[in-house]
Structure 1
């Protein structure tokens, strides 16, 4: 039975411009796939037998985004539509793009060059009929990721495609066709040519998917994970003992799954214990300890994320969360202890650390963590904030200018003085007035050699 999908009127009007000029135009790839799956579609990519220069003559605004490969971006009624001429790809030498392309008038030739059957379909905008030369409809129904044609060839053309296979499987909850799965470890040499930025982007999409844990396990099973995140792979078969049901690797995967789909928090959950293999010690009684693994995990996380070209802001946030994930809040904490904790980690990180702590606990294998274990900490921090209490140097009633006015020279000694004033205020918030802090600053001048 013929399968049809609806194409929005603005997009049908777009293709009518081609038809009026004697060209054909179809929508292809992810938009067709997602429409068939009943998912929202944000981008509609077009394929046409019109060459780039012919497309330019049809529309007012056409951006030459990849003319050498037949691709332009057309501005149409407030949208940008990536439009590519039907083509057959030449040899791939760099593991990413063909050295040359040959334009063709045949849609099916164009579809046959794509990566997976579920991405190798088109829709005729006039009729809504799906064009499916490679069996994508059947694979969608079966929940299967399958390469078009020979998977070794597909993965050799573009070394990122194995990672994309895992990403689509994680996103849709699909299985990977056995032949396609077997081709992944067989083409790892090609994968090694892929840039860190492209790997990062696909990996991040896996991490924020609904089945992040499954995705990471597939990356490990296929050998991909060890290629770009060996720090995580090295956690396999590292036992933990105590309350943990899993080895370090499985624990990290479970913690990642338990975390909300936020890039920073899921990265922190996945990496928070990667320093354990290096810090593992077995006592005379057989008990395992991992002293200092939080510091080592933070160091390794920073190295890994910088290698993958994550933005500095992401690296900094993840490293801080990993470094401080071992906090162990209890109702016995004094208000001063709460203030010191906030001062140490930063007010903006308290909630995320609490979320990471819950994911860490959930990842031990005994069911979801009880949020009541961290909610009292958050409540206490909010109560202290409501009282306008100081958590950092910027919250002090005086700053460097006031210290300078009473004779403190700008430099290291001033910074140390402000830190000491903060320590006093963390112990006793009542000291956070200009007069009282000036008095303290006067008294400690001699300690720092200030006349």
Structure 2
């Protein structure tokens, strides 16, 4: 076992130290574990502080006034301390993974080593005492130093236990700018087909994080070479398109909308096809709407048909998304600054900015109904085109003429 000591702990660990001390004072072991330890060693911001302990769930609950049973059947209790929740999980071993995601049974143990042995990658199998000593049974420190993603123990077993780990491996490669150990890559290839057993929503999360990471090309290379893409919705025949993105992606994308706009464009989807594609990925309706709008604007850009109305319908956010994707795909279009300058010259930016409303038209004698809506749209288009001023009097006169 290797060890080292962090002399100055981040404040998130300092705040949680009394939790560990309380558990230890009762005669049990307790450690910080997982991503927070890894990220501290890498000098990255910490997200969730997780704790592992030799105390069983009921023993943990007896030590603290406020706890929530967030996953007690798997040994996890949330300890609430001064408004902060700390997930505290009993050391455990797991057996049987018939759904390739969750263990059929969990056995609580008193051994930290046994607990860390079941984790996915060596860099996530590190533990830390309340005073900063790192406990490393599986050379996680060495792999951190070598910038390497490596499965704990036998990679074939780790991916058979939880097929989502294949996506997590490529996501970490992107986020951390690490390479994946060759044996781990081989095991990803062997178990890619098990992704079909995993909920699409979970794959979706990892896929997006891959493209938002520091170096997406790292993860994307393995995603393509191992054939993982074949088991993702709508990407079974996308090998060539995804392979071309590897050299095009120099850094992470700015948003989830940009991720899906890039994918849709790379695989040749029209804005009308975006909806059915993203529904396969169980995407939210707002995301589908945003991506379709960005793809529609990108299509207009490529066709050289960027009118005031096209800019107006897109809006600044979708213009930025489309321009980012056009830049990655090396599509010859006006620059983002040119497009935004043109957008800023528009008299109105939304229907709410129009100086006339349906109520104004009704007061002027226009009957409610489809014709009123058509009239408002016509006025909106003329104001955007610059052929009519956004002035109530002028708009009323025009409406009554029509």
TM normalised by structure 2 equals 0.90
Counterpart of 2:365 in structure 1 is 407
CA-to-partner distance for each residue in 1:289-312, whole Å, 9 max, x for gaps?
xxxxxxx43233322322222222
* 1:311 pairs with one of 246, 270, 284: 284
* 2:338 pairs with one of 370, 376, 382: 376
- Equivalents in 2 of 1:218, 1:297: separation in Å? 27
Counterpart of 2:145 in structure 1 is 141
Alignment of 1:188-267 (within 5 A): 188-231=192-235, 234-237=237-240, 248-254=241-247, 257=250, 260-267=253-260
Q: After TM superposition, give the deviation of residue 32 of structure 1 in Å.
A: 1.7
Give the conservation status (yes or no) of the 8 Å contact 1:252–1:272.
Answer: no
2:14 is the counterpart of 1:9? yes
Cα 1:71–1:392 change in 2 (3 A) is closer
- Equivalents in 2 of 1:318, 1:109: separation in Å? 45
- Equivalents in 2 of 1:323, 1:65: separation in Å? 43
- Equivalents in 1 of 2:110, 2:396: separation in Å? 82
Secondary structure of the structure 1 residue equivalent to 2:270: helix
Give the conservation status (yes or no) of the 8 Å contact 2:3–2:135.
Answer: no
Q: After TM superposition, give the deviation of residue 270 of structure 1 in Å.
A: 2.7
**Greater CA drift, 158-167 or 9-18:** 9-18
CA-to-partner distance for each residue in 1:232-267, whole Å, 9 max, x for gaps?
x53444xxxxxxxxxx44444555546743221232
CA-to-partner distance for each residue in 1:259-297, whole Å, 9 max, x for gaps?
74322123212322422xxxxxxxxxxxxxxxxxxxx43
- Equivalents in 2 of 1:329, 1:114: separation in Å? 47
* 2:44 pairs with one of 39, 45, 48: 39
Secondary structure of the structure 2 residue equivalent to 1:192: helix
- Equivalents in 2 of 1:180, 1:348: separation in Å? 39
- Equivalents in 1 of 2:159, 2:327: separation in Å? 39
The runs of 5 or more residues in structure 2 that have no matched partner are: none
Secondary structure of the structure 2 residue equivalent to 1:89: strand
Give the conservation status (yes or no) of the 8 Å contact 2:379–2:399.
Answer: yes
Alignment of 1:268-417 (within 5 A): 268-275=261-268, 296-328=269-301, 338-361=307-330, 373-382=335-344, 384=345, 389-417=347-375
Q: Which protein is bigger by CA-based radius of gyration?
A: 1
Give the conservation status (yes or no) of the 8 Å contact 1:170–1:211.
Answer: yes
- Equivalents in 2 of 1:349, 1:401: separation in Å? 31
Counterpart of 1:434 in structure 2 is 392
* 2:75 pairs with one of 61, 70, 74: 70
